[in-house]
A and B are shown apart, each in its own frame.
Chain A
Amino acid sequence: MTLYLLQRLLYLVPLLLGAVTIVFVLVHMAPGNPVDYIIGESGADKEMIARLTADMGLDRPLYIQLLRYLGQVATGNLGYSFVSNMPVLELILDRLPATLLLMASQLVFSISLGVGLGVLSARRPNSLLDNSITVFSLASFAVPVFWLGQLLILGFGYYLDWLPIQGMVDLRAGYTGFDLVLDVARHMVLPVLTLTLYNLALILRLTRGSMLEVVGQEYVKVARAKGLSENTVMIKHALRNALLPVVTVVGLEFRALIAGAVLTETVFAWPGLGRLTFDAIHARDYPLLMGMFIFISVLVAVGNLVTDLLYALLDPRIRYR
């Protein structure tokens, strides 16, 4: 298992090298050069431009610049934001918890609801429940996540006026302790609902499909023949195997989950990575955008790794030496 883990970790190295190189090449292909981006509209004399160019090593050959950049990234230095002059990594880590909170909550809901409803609809294919679920999934695969968020804001925020629609806390109320927790929870309802509705269908369809496949297999028939109750057969025998493809696909879709979270955060002004991206786009804060891409690449790679390990834990047939 340790060896397998090491192997998988090594596999990440070329991936991340690739990600960093791509960003580097893109920035060098883009019109203008980094010095222009830093000086911006303010203008500067020739001397200052020359000094900045030398400072940033831009007068060296390209491959030296790339190696320098790789070295920087490897030590966790993702550069400095044009706008706030803060280290990019610090800005990202500052916003990360808010995003993780949203993503973890929506995963809990979409996985539990998706697996539950998937099992139910697989039990009686073509029933009313099963058909409603099919219609729901078709809609869910086609809906733009940010528009779904906007609709929920219009409905629950403005029309019904039940829930807060912006941000993570009510700054004016100045809550502390348990009240603060409650306030954050209230602010979370709509963004989490948006993401859950958006991601639920995928998990539901997968669970349904793989349950239907598994239920026809011999070992499930054997379990039934032993006289086990239907619930034991379904949950202990069928579901465990049916979950394998679900785990794989959720892992593969990890980058899409993050993209969805970014868009949803933008709609709800949630102070996470999505909001940071949005602000960076508007300020044309290139170091921040590049750092974000590299950071998300790492996050996705780690997400894939975790999926692989989960798979190994779940599947009784797979044992890595």
Chain B
Amino acid sequence: MRFRRKKTAVFGLAGAAAFVIVALFAPLLAPYGTMDLGTSFQPPGGEHLLGTDSLGSDVLSNMIYGTRTSLIVGLCAVVTSNIIGLTIGSLAGYFGGRTDNVLMRITEMFQILPQFFLAIIVVALFGSSIWNIVFVIGILTWPVTARLLRAEFLSLRKREFVDAARALGMSDFDLIVREILPNALPPIIVNASLQISGAILLEASLSFLGLGDPDAMSWGVMLHNAQEYFNRAWWMAAFPGMALFVTTLALNLTGDGLNDALNPRLRT
């Protein structure tokens, strides 16, 4: 069982690494630029390996450039989300009492709000730039991090090493950041790795609904454009979606693998 899980984790890690490499070296790997327009609706094969879209641009090249959007959104949104989640979770867990009560009620509210619709409104009101999308995903997805971290803090703050550090005169800030936080990180890291794929899917969903950044090529935007041309260009939908699917799968498997490696409760 462990061995099979390791194999899937290795597959996941390889996929995730390939995704990052493609994103970093996109201009070198893409056979065409996103603005090189040729004949529309060319089927896969020949000069255009995965065909061309309604404007005549190369589907493969667009997909390669699309990895950049996904990577940027995935990483930046998760960093934003974790900055908020770590702050709220550690304050609530460390101080407990009223602070905890107030912060957790806010957290619960964010967990029940229909985040997808809120994201739609924010992007529709403030404009469809990548950074608005990153910001909104960050603002909406922190509650899980906050709750995980709070739980860790609640169990760690009573430990002897914390008491010892406090007896040495450490400030609350130093106790949180230098003593407790490093010990509370493993579940946060696992969660963050799974959040990346969630953020990528959310960006794709928003772009699919027509809220994508018009200046950045993205898989969601490609799927949005494909929607009109099912009858004549199946490749416009099939390939970008496949990229999205494989990337998400790889990231999820990596997350599961990390969970196995970092979660002491699963160790046998």
Contact = CB atoms under 8 A, between A and B. Distances in A.
A108 interface: no
Interface residues of B, number: 41
27 contacts: A14-B105, A23-B121, A27-B125, A31-B127, A138-B8, A139-B249, A142-B248, A142-B252, A143-B248, A144-B205, A144-B223, A144-B245, A147-B223, A147-B237, A150-B230, A158-B231, A266-B227, A277-B117, A281-B120, A281-B124, A289-B117, A293-B114, A293-B117, A296-B117, A297-B112, A300-B114, A304-B112
Given A142-B252, A278-B209, A151 B238 contact: yes
A224 interface: no
Given A138-B252, A142-B252, 12 more contacts: A14-B105, A18-B109, A142-B248, A146-B208, A151-B241, A154-B234, A255-B116, A259-B114, A259-B116, A259-B117, A281-B124, A293-B117
Interface string B124-163: 1111000000000000000000000000000000000000
B245 A138 contact: no
A35 interface: no
Interface in A238-255: 255
B60 interface: no
Interface in A280-316: 281-282, 284, 286, 289-290, 292-293, 296-297, 300-301, 304
A212 interface: no
Interface of A: 14-15, 18-19, 22-23, 26-27, 30-31, 126, 138-139, 141-144, 146-147, 150-151, 153-154, 157-158, 165, 255-256, 258-259, 262-263, 266-267, 277-278, 281-282, 284, 286, 289-290, 292-293, 296-297, 300-301, 304
Contact of B118 (A22, A138, A258, A262): A22
A300 to B, nearest CB: 5
Interface string B22-40: 0000000000000000000
- 4 tightest A-B contacts by CB? A147-B241, A259-B116, A142-B249, A30-B125
Contacts of A139: 245, 249
A30 B112 contact: no
A315 B35 CA distance: 60
B229 to A, nearest CB: 11
Nearest to B202: A259
A26 B117 contact: no
B230 A158 contact: yes
B210 interface: yes
Given A158-B231, A255-B114, A281 B237 contact: no
Contacts of B120: 277, 281, 289, 293
B231 to A, nearest CB: 6
A153 B249 CA distance: 22
A58 to B, nearest CB: 16
B226 interface: yes
Contacts of A142: 197, 245, 248-249, 252
B249 A144 contact: no
B122 interface: yes
B114 A143 contact: no
Interface in B191-220: 197, 201, 204-205, 208-211
B223 A297 contact: no
B208 A266 contact: yes
B195 to A, nearest CB: 14
Contacts of B87: none
B253 interface: yes
A50 B13 CA distance: 60
B115 interface: yes
B244 interface: yes
Given A255-B112, A293-B118, A281 B211 contact: yes
Given A26-B121, A144-B201, A296-B117, A301 B209 contact: no
B204 A144 contact: yes
Contacts of B164: none
B113 interface: yes
A256 B115 CA distance: 9
A195 to B, nearest CB: 14
B253 A147 contact: no
B124 to A, nearest CB: 6
A293 B140 CA distance: 14
Contacts of B121: 23, 26, 286, 289-290, 293
A165 B228 CA distance: 12
Nearest to A148: B241
A292 B227 contact: no
A151 B197 CA distance: 21
Contacts of B126: 30-31
